[in-house]
């Protein structure tokens, strides 16, 4: 799955939402989140993010690996 990391916080440009073919990018209070069970790993969202917040889960920079759990938790708690 793809994951949205720290640069999205308080930016929420939403360009990725337009690109996602399965509409699996959802809006939280301060960040967008990718539903890990709905993402089809197409990669369409990654290049359109103006702040480079989106990474394939295995390619997350080390300081942002926590965002993989963070994205998943958003859907389990709501």
Report the interface residues with ligand SF4, using CB under 6 A.
Answer: 2, 19-20, 22, 24-25, 34, 39-45
Q: CB of residue 1 vs ligand SF4: minimum separation in angstroms?
A: 7
Instruction: Check residue 77 and report its DSSP letter.
Output: H
Q: CB of residue 39 vs ligand SF4: minimum separation in angstroms?
A: 3
Q: CB of residue 66 vs ligand SF4: minimum separation in angstroms?
A: 18
Q: What is the CA radius of gyration of the chain?
A: 11
The smaller minimum CB distance to ligand SF4, of residues 24 and 72, is found at 24
16 vs 31: CA distance, rounded Å: 12
The smaller minimum CB distance to ligand SF4, of residues 9 and 44, is found at 44
Buried/exposed code over 12-25 (b: 16+ C-beta within 10 A; e: otherwise): beeebbebbeeebb
């Amino acid at each position: 799955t793809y994951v949205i990391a720290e640069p999205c916080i308080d930016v929420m440009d939403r360009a990725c939402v337009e690109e996602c073919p399965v509409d699996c990018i959802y809006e939280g209070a301060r960040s967008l989140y990718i539903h890990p069970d709905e993402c089809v790993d197409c990669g369409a969202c990654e290049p359109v993010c103006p702040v480079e917040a989106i990474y394939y889960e295995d390619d997350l920079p080390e300081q942002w690996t926590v965002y993989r759990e963070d994205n998943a938790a958003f859907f389990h708690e709501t």
